[in-house]
Structure 1
Amino acid sequence: MGCALNPHADPHWERLSLWHDTVDTDWTPRPGLTGDVDADVAIVGAGLTGLWTAYYLAEADPNLRIVVLEAETAGFGASGRNGGWCSALFPASLETLAELADRDGALAQHRAMRDTVDEVVAVAAAEGIDAHIAKGGTISLARSRAQWRRAKAEVAEARRWGRDEDDVRLLDRDEATAVLRGSRTVGATYTPDCAALHPARLVRGLADVVERRGVTIHERTRVRAIAPGRAHTADGDVRAATVVRATEGYTAGLRGEERTLVPVYSLIIATEPLSPATWEEIGLARRETFTDHRHLIVYGQRTADDRLVFGGRGAPYHLGSRIRPEFDRDDAVFARLYATLVDLFPVLSGTRVTHAWGGALGIPRDWCASVGLDRETGLAWAGGYVGDGVSTTNLAGRTLRDLVLGQDTDLTRLPWVGHRSPAWEPEPLRWLGINAGLRAMTLADAEESVTRLPSVLAKAVKPLLG
C-alpha cells in the first residue's frame, strides 16, 4: 500500500496525533473555572511544565493550594504531540551556558539533564504511569563525509569538556549498522541518555496523579493575561501569591508576551505497525531513538507497538506567531518526511502512514531555555525548550518547586535559572528571519549532497540560529 498523505485517505488524519489516538484515557474536559478563586500557586498551562511543577510542589507541601489552568485539555499541545524523546539534550550549548555562569556551571547543567532522564523514568514507574518507556539511548547517523566530520567534531568537543565514552561516543560503520541500518551510513555518535516513550500517556498519567495529590485542574479555561498575584480568564481570576507561566509554544497568545517565545511547527508521521522481518532490516532492537547529522533536524523512534514515528522541522513560521489547527498539517512537509524516511530505510517503500500531525514548539530569541521566579512580583516561568522539552520540563518543575518554596539548592544555582532571553524582533522582521533560517538549513543539506563538503551556508547562518 502507498503512503496515505491526504485527509481522504485515512480515518485518523483529523485527529491530533498518533499519541492522542492511542492513549488509554477519557478526553472529556475537566470542569472549567467558574468565578474568582484563591490559591497559593496558579499555574498557567497543563502541559508537562505545568504538571511537573504541580507534582513536585504538591509532593513537597501537600497543604499548598495549587490551581492549574488549561486552555484546552491536559496534554493538548506539544507535551502530547512530540516525538517521544526524553533526552539529556539542552537547546543551548555548553559554551553558552558557561557564558551565563562558568565551566563548572555548564557541566552541572549537563549532569542535571542526564539525571533528569532517569528521574522521569523513575517517577513514571513509581506512580504507575505506563508511558511505554524504553531507555535505549540515541544513535545519530553520519551519512556523508560532511556529516562524519561533524560527528567526529562533536565527540572531540565533548572530550574537551571532560565528557567520556559513557556520555557520548563515536561509532564506526560496523558498530553503527549493528544498531541502525540506515542507508549510506559512514558512522554515528551514540549517547545512552535518552528514553523513547509515549508522550500523551506520560502527560495524561501525570495529570491524574497530581489530581490525586489534591491539585485542581481547570480545562477549557483560557488565560488571557498574567499579572502579579493574578491569572485573568474570561470566566474569572485565580488570585495567588505565585503565578507560573508554563505555556511554551502558546506563550505569544498572552497579553504582553507576544515577543517572548515564537511558535515554530514541527511535523511528524507514523507508519502502520511493521513486521518483525522489517525491523530486522532496520534495527533499533532496544528502541533507540535516532536522528542523523544533517542540518535540518529529523528525529524518530520505534514505538512499543512496532510503528516507526518520524518527524522533522521545515514547516514555515506563520506571521504574527499565529497558531491555527490547519497549521498542524502540511502535505508538502509530510511528503518530504516520507521521502526522507524511505531514503533512510528503503525497506519502507510503500509502507502505509496511518497518522500525520504537527504542533508548535517554543523558541526564545537566543535559543536558551530558562526557568525563574521574580520574587518582587511573584511571577514565575519556564520554557523555551526548542523541542527538547520532554525531559527539560521535569528539571523545570523540580527547579520551580525549590524557587517557590524559597530553597537554595543545586538546582536553583544552575546557569539557566533566572536567565532572560531578549525579545524577538517585531513583525515582519521575525517572519523573514525565521523562515530564511529554516530555508537556509534545507539548502545547506542540499549543498553538502553536491559538494560533499561542510556547508558554507550553514556556517554563515549558525550564529543566527542558536
Structure 2
Amino acid sequence: MGPPPELRPPLPGSVSCDVAIVGAGFTGLWTAYYLSLLDPSLRVVVLESAYAGFGASGRNGGWCSALLPSSLPALARRHGRSAAIAFQQAMNATVDEVGRVCAAENIACDFHKGGTVSVARSPAQLSRASATVSSYASFGFDEVSLLSAGDASSRLGATSVLGGVFTPHCAAIQPAALVRGLASVVAARGVSLYEGTPVTSLRPGAAVTPFGTVRAEVVVRATEGYTAGLPGYRRAVAPVYSLMVATPPLPESTWDAIGLADRETFTDFRHLIIYGQRTADGRLAFGGRGAPYHFGSSVSPSFDREPSVFTALRETLGALFPVLGPVAEISHAWGGPLGVTRDWTASVGLDRASGLAWAGGYVGDGVGTSNLAGRTLADLILGVSSDLVELPWVGHRSRSWEPEPLRWLGINAALRATASADAAEARTGRAARRADLIHRLVSG
C-alpha cells in the first residue's frame, strides 16, 4: 500500500461554491472530474476527513469490474428487462471508460483488462457457475462464458477445479495509485480539494466542518462506508469490513503453477466472497469477507486488522495454491469498510428541492460503479439529458437498516451462517439451502 501521502491543506474557512462534494474517494473524485470537464467554470469543492483515497477507494482488491450488487433478474423484476440490460451495458462500457481516462490523464495505476475467471471447486459451485452463465445469456450477454475444468485450470491453477466462468468485463488496477492520480488530475483542473477536513453535518445548501461551512447550490454525499458517521444517516448504509493480504513478489516458476497469465482477477463460487489479482509487480493480492460487523455501524482504524481473518486468508491461499505452502507467506495485510444498503442495491440521485445529491451502496463493487456514478451525478447536477440519468438506479431509495441491536445480531448471524453454508457444501458437495435463505433475509 505504501505510506500515506502528504496531506493537502484543510479548508481555510467558510466558503461558497457551486457544488460541494463530501468525500474524496472514487465517487467524489469522479464526480468532480466530470463536472470540471462538462463545465470548467463551475466552482467545485471536495472535502475529505483524512486524505484522498483513505477509505475503500485506496484499499480494495483492485477490480475495476462491471459487477452490480443486484442481479440482472432482480433488476428486471423491479424495473423491466430493457432497463436491466441498459444498466449492464453501461457498466460494461464503464470498465473501458476508466481505462480511457487513465490513458488520457497519464494515471499510472497498472490498468490491465484481463477479465475475471471464477472457478467452481465443488458440484454445488459448478451448478451456480452454470446458472450464472445461463442468466447472462438470457439477457443477451453471451460473452460471459462457461469454462470446462481444463480451460478454467489453464487460467487459474487452483485445486479441485471442476469448471468456471470467464467474463472479459474487468480490469486489474492498483487502486491507491488510481485514486491518488485522479485526485491530482482533479486538483490540476481547478477543483478545490481540502484534506484533513471532516464534515460534521449536512443540510440543504451546506456542509459543516470544524473549520467553517461550505455553502453550495448542490451538496453531494459520497461517503460510502463512512456514511453512518453523519448525523441522520446512522441506518442508511452498514459498514461491513473486507480484509486483504498480499504476498511478496513471486518467482515466475510459482506463477507458472498459479496461472493468471493475462492478469485476470479471480474468485470462486463459494458464498463468503473471496477475490484476488496478480499485481503488476508479481504479488498475489487476496481478500475476503468474514470480519465482524461492529455495533452501531462503528468504524475505527483498529477494525482494519482482524488476525483470525488474516490467518484464514493465508490458509485459503494455501488451500487454493499448494505451491504457496499450507499457510501462504504474506508481506502486507490491511482492511477497511465497504458500504452495504439494506436492499443490497446501489443508487445515485439528486433531490432538486433540497439540493442534496448522493451515490453509493456499492457492496464492494465500487471501483467501476463509482465512475458511472460520477458521470451520472455530473449529468444530474448540470441538467444534462442523457441515457445515464435514465438508468434504473437513479433516484432509488433503499430502506433503512434495522435499529440496534437487531442490526448487529442480524448481520453477524448472516456472516456466520454464510461461512457455515460453505463448510457444509465442502463436506457434502451439495448446495446449502440456508445460503439462499440468508440472502433473501439480508437483501430483502
Normalised by the size of structure 2, how large is the TM-score?
Answer: 0.98
Contact 1:328–1:359, Cα closer than 8 Å, also in 2: yes
Query: For 1:427, what is the secondary structure of its paired residue?
Result: coil
- Matched residue, 2:400: 423
Aligned partners of 2:139 and 2:100: how far apart in 1? 28
Superposed CA RMSD: 0.9
Aligned partners of 2:169 and 2:197: how far apart in 1? 36
Query: For 2:378, what is the secondary structure of its paired residue?
Result: helix
Aligned partners of 1:59 and 1:152: how far apart in 2? 42
Q: Post-superposition shift, 1:34?
A: 2.2
Q: Post-superposition shift, 1:98?
A: 2.1
Matches within 5 A, 1:234-253: 234-253=210-229
- Give a deviation string over 1:23-65, Cα, whole Å, max 9, x none: xxx7111110122100000000000000000000001000000
Matches within 5 A, 1:3-402: 18=1, 20-21=2-3, 27-164=5-142, 166=143, 168-349=144-325, 351-402=328-379
Query: For 1:421, what is the secondary structure of its paired residue?
Result: coil
- Matched residue, 2:426: 449
Query: For 1:255, what is the secondary structure of its paired residue?
Result: coil
Aligned partners of 2:319 and 2:79: how far apart in 1? 42
More off after superposition, 339-348 vs 451-460? 451-460
Q: Post-superposition shift, 1:85?
A: 0.2
Unaligned runs of 5+ in 1: 1-17
Amino acid in the other structure paired with 1:105? A
Aligned partners of 1:351 and 1:229: how far apart in 2? 51
Aligned partners of 2:442 and 2:139: how far apart in 1? 23
Q: Post-superposition shift, 1:224?
A: 0.8
Amino acid in the other structure paired with 2:105? E
Q: Post-superposition shift, 1:144?
A: 0.6
- Give a deviation string over 1:382-403, Cα, whole Å, max 9, x none: 0000000000000000000100
Amino acid in the other structure paired with 2:122? S
Aligned partners of 1:27 and 1:282: how far apart in 2? 33
Amino acid in the other structure paired with 2:106? G
Aligned partners of 2:176 and 2:427: how far apart in 1? 40
Query: For 2:313, what is the secondary structure of its paired residue?
Result: helix
- Give a deviation string over 1:270-316, Cα, whole Å, max 9, x none: 00000000000100001000000000000000000000000000000
- Matched residue, 1:15: none
Aligned partners of 2:123 and 2:442: how far apart in 1? 23
Q: Post-superposition shift, 1:163?
A: 1.7
Contact 1:97–1:416, Cα closer than 8 Å, also in 2: no
Between the two proteins, the alignment pairs up a number of residues equal to 442
Aligned partners of 1:136 and 1:196: how far apart in 2? 7
Q: Post-superposition shift, 1:351?
A: 4.4
Aligned partners of 1:428 and 1:230: how far apart in 2? 32
Amino acid in the other structure paired with 2:169? D
Amino acid in the other structure paired with 1:285? A
- Matched residue, 2:391: 414
Query: For 1:54, what is the secondary structure of its paired residue?
Result: helix
Contact 1:272–1:351, Cα closer than 8 Å, also in 2: no
Contact 2:317–2:328, Cα closer than 8 Å, also in 1: no
Aligned partners of 1:173 and 1:130: how far apart in 2? 35
Q: Post-superposition shift, 1:100?
A: 3.5
More off after superposition, 34-43 vs 154-163? 154-163
Aligned partners of 2:329 and 2:272: how far apart in 1? 24
Contact 2:314–2:329, Cα closer than 8 Å, also in 1: no
Amino acid in the other structure paired with 1:76? F
Query: For 2:13, what is the secondary structure of its paired residue?
Result: coil
Amino acid in the other structure paired with 1:355? H
Amino acid in the other structure paired with 2:149? R
Amino acid in the other structure paired with 1:239? R
Aligned partners of 1:351 and 1:388: how far apart in 2? 26
Contact 1:270–1:354, Cα closer than 8 Å, also in 2: yes
Unaligned runs of 5+ in 2: none
Contact 1:47–1:79, Cα closer than 8 Å, also in 2: yes
Percent identical: 60
Aligned partners of 2:328 and 2:238: how far apart in 1? 34
Contact 2:314–2:328, Cα closer than 8 Å, also in 1: no
